[in-house]
């Protein structure tokens, strides 16, 4: 049996219909990110699952869209760093 090369796998995937490619992607994603698996950590060291990570990212995006963000200069003041113009 011939071992699959990346080129062969890629061409086989490209021959799939959009719906089948989407199903394959979701199956791979589920296998890669097992339920409850840690995928990231907060700056405080809190472990996050993929669902928690996505929730935090989406919350940040929503804050930006609502204008609930601060500029870099204010952020560095808040964190106690010196701000330097570039």
**What pLDDT digit, counting tens, does each position of 27-51 carry?**
887 777 666 788 899 989 999 988 8
Question: What's the pTM?
Answer: 0.49
Long-range contacts (CB closer than 8 Å, 24 or more residues apart) made by 24-30: none
The answer on pLDDT for 57 being more than 90 is: yes
The answer on pLDDT for 69 being more than 80 is: yes
Is 50 within 8 Å of 33 (Cβ atoms)? yes
Bridge partners (DSSP) listed for residue 47 = 41
Over the range 10-48, which residues count as b (16 or more CB within 10 Å of their CB) and which as e? eeeeeeeeeeeeeeeeeeeeeeeeeeeeeeeeeeeeeee
């Amino acid at each position: 049996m011939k071992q699959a090369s990346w080129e062969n796998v890629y061409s086989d995937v490209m021959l799939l219909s959009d719906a089948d490619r989407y199903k394959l992607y979701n199956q791979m994603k589920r296998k890669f990110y097992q339920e409850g698996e840690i995928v990231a950590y907060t700056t405080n060291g809190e472990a996050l699952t993929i669902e928690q990570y996505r929730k935090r990212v989406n919350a940040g995006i929503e804050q930006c869209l609502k204008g609930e963000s601060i500029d870099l200069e204010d952020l560095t003041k808040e964190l106690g760093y010196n701000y330097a113009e570039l």
